[in-house]
Chain A
Amino acid sequence: MKFENVLTDYYINPKYLSLYRLLYCFIVLFLIGLPSYTWIANSLNYLYDPPFLSFASLFDEFPGSWFFITLSILNISFFMLMFLGVASRWTSTLFSITCIIGHNFWYSFGKIDHLLLWYLAPAFLGFAGWGQYFSLNIFKKNHHYKDIETNTNSMLILIFALSIGFTMFTSAAEKISGGWLYWNGEAVRFHFLRNYLSLHRTHLLTYPLISYDNHVFWKFMDYSGIILELGFIFSVVRINFFRVFIAAGVIFHVLVLLMFNIPFYSNLIVYLIFIDWKMLYEKWHLQSVFDYPQMQKGLVKVMAIISICFMVGWLTQLYHTTYFFTFPGLLQFVLSNLPISNSFEASLSIFFLLVLLFTLYVLYCQFESYIKAKNKKFQEIE
């Protein structure tokens, strides 16, 4: 296997990456919202315990509210500019940086969530060309699409795929050293019960499983989790293997949501980078959009209106109160007006369902095109 072949596998045409940029931003705008950092300023300094070796550890206590308000406004602004493809290399990177700084303080209470990959992705993809299409630049006179070197594009995407694999690998290594492979231990069941009893995560599939006492079932869950997490990094050698793990990863995270009530949405967002965009592009006849600048211009105008509406809505919320965890997505906003106890978690659950359905659809399409190709080959031989 040649490294050049692996690299070629990971090349994603900037057209498709730009589509992914839209998908990424629409997921944020409509489904999951953007994190707000302003609530941190109201926290007790006695609880300040920043992670060792982090930006936040340079401070003795939480910075003042002006710091978090400025950070939140910058974060929203960079996000909107990135959405509109304005100086996308830099706005994407700055969006990632402001998210990382904000989360440094977010995790200064001792608990670190690993929702890192979704806001690390723009720093990679900005330089891989995801801001090329559907950007405000299209209105510039003498606008032309800049060439992104194929190697740069595929190298950045390969490194990002390796990053996903590495995070999964470290998680598996920790589990193996904790004894997940020993036949007598029941790791998934232990953490499931602990989540249920101690953290009161008692929704979705938890109730029927609480009294399920089948050692083989729980051991199957332990082993399949380890195989998935270990396999990710090795599957990077072939994009098709990696896609199999991506599909399995989606099912894994949906199961984690159903059993543990943990909506680990970060990975679901970045898995979507690796779907077969070319196949979807052809199946959905998207060339009709890309080939007509007028269509692109119309779409960018709609995007500009959407971004202005969200910017105004989110900044208005900031003006009224500083104590909230997220600038809500549209769905969360709608759900918050219904009698639902946690609109954020409800909108995340809907996001999970949509990603699961989309994954199944993509798998079906790939299976269909595989059968077609096989039939064609068969007919040619005949």
Chain B
Amino acid sequence: MYPSLVFPSFSQAPPIKDNIQYPDVTLYAVTDQNKIMTINKESFFKGYKKHVNYFLGTIITNENRIKHKPALTKARAVFLIYSLTQLKKLYPKESFMRLLITKTIKSYSTKRKSFNKDISNGPLTLINLKK
């Protein structure tokens, strides 16, 4: 709720023994050659650095509810055009067919100071960019 004087923040407090784990959302794009490329979220949503993970969360929600909310169709069409334009700017030589959003658990080793393999968490969201 906004505005309100309730300020929830940073509530988690997991123990840290060599590893820390936290949820993350990853954005991929699939080319017409079926090549999957990881997209830099901040570059894709240029200018909205702080909001990118929330954007992807909203997109996942909207993709699930669009059948029950036809009013979103027009907004989705504009988003698809935006996505194609951004991808063309980032990778001018590639032709993209789909966006793929995955929810993952990132794991980082505080001992080795490097990331472990991501743990998949939740369904994939696939968005066709072209009809």
Q: In the complex, what distance in Å separates the CA atom of A178 from the CA atom of B10?
A: 9
A54 to B1, Cβ gap below 8 A?
yes
Q: How many A-B residue pairs have CB under 8 A?
A: 131
B122 to chain A, nearest CB (A): 17
- Does B100 sit within 8 A of A, measured CB to CB? no
- Known contacts A109-B54, A180-B13, A211-B113, A197 near B108 by CB under 8 Å: yes
Q: In the complex, what distance in Å separates the CA atom of A120 from the CA atom of B5?
A: 10
Q: Per-residue 0/1 for B2-33: is the Cβ within 8 Å of any A Cβ (1 yes, 0 no)?
A: 11011111111111100010101000000000
- Supply 30 A–B pairs (Cβ within 8 Å), ascending by A: A45-B75, A46-B72, A46-B75, A46-B76, A47-B59, A48-B75, A52-B1, A60-B71, A103-B3, A109-B54, A114-B9, A116-B5, A120-B3, A167-B5, A170-B5, A175-B9, A175-B11, A175-B13, A177-B11, A178-B12, A179-B13, A180-B13, A185-B13, A185-B15, A187-B10, A190-B20, A193-B20, A193-B108, A198-B106, A323-B47
- Does A182 sit within 8 A of B, measured CB to CB? yes
- Does A27 sit within 8 A of B, measured CB to CB? no
List, in ascending order, chain B residues with CB within 8 A of A107's CB. Answer: 2
> DSSP class of B's interface residues: helix, strand, loop or mixed?
mixed
A193 to B110, Cβ gap below 8 A?
yes
The size of the chain B interface, using a CB distance under 8 A, is 42
B13 to A178, Cβ gap below 8 A?
yes
- Residue numbers of A with Cβ under 8 A of B are 39, 44-49, 51-54, 56, 60-61, 100, 103-104, 107, 109-112, 114, 116, 120, 163, 166-168, 170-171, 174-175, 177-180, 182, 184-187, 189-191, 193-194, 197-199, 210-211, 213, 222, 323
In chain B between 42 and 76, which residues have their CB closer than 8 angstroms to a CB of chain A? Answer: 47-48, 50-51, 54-55, 57-59, 61-62, 71-72, 74-76
Q: Which of B13, B16, B48, B108 contacts A109 (CB 8 A)?
A: B48
B13 to A187, Cβ gap below 8 A?
yes
List, in ascending order, chain A residues with CB within 8 A of B91's CB. Answer: none
Q: Per-residue 0/1 for B98-128: is the Cβ within 8 Å of any A Cβ (1 yes, 0 no)?
A: 0000000010101001010000000000000
List, in ascending order, chain A residues with CB within 8 A of B16's CB. Answer: 186, 189-190, 193
Most B CB contacts (10 A, CB to CB) among A46, A103, A179, A323 go to A46
B54 to A110, Cβ gap below 8 A?
yes
A49 to B15, Cβ gap below 8 A?
no
- Residue numbers of B with Cβ under 8 A of A are 1-3, 5-16, 20, 22, 24, 47-48, 50-51, 54-55, 57-59, 61-62, 71-72, 74-76, 78-79, 82, 106, 108, 110, 113, 115
B15 to A184, Cβ gap below 8 A?
yes
A174 to B11, Cβ gap below 8 A?
yes
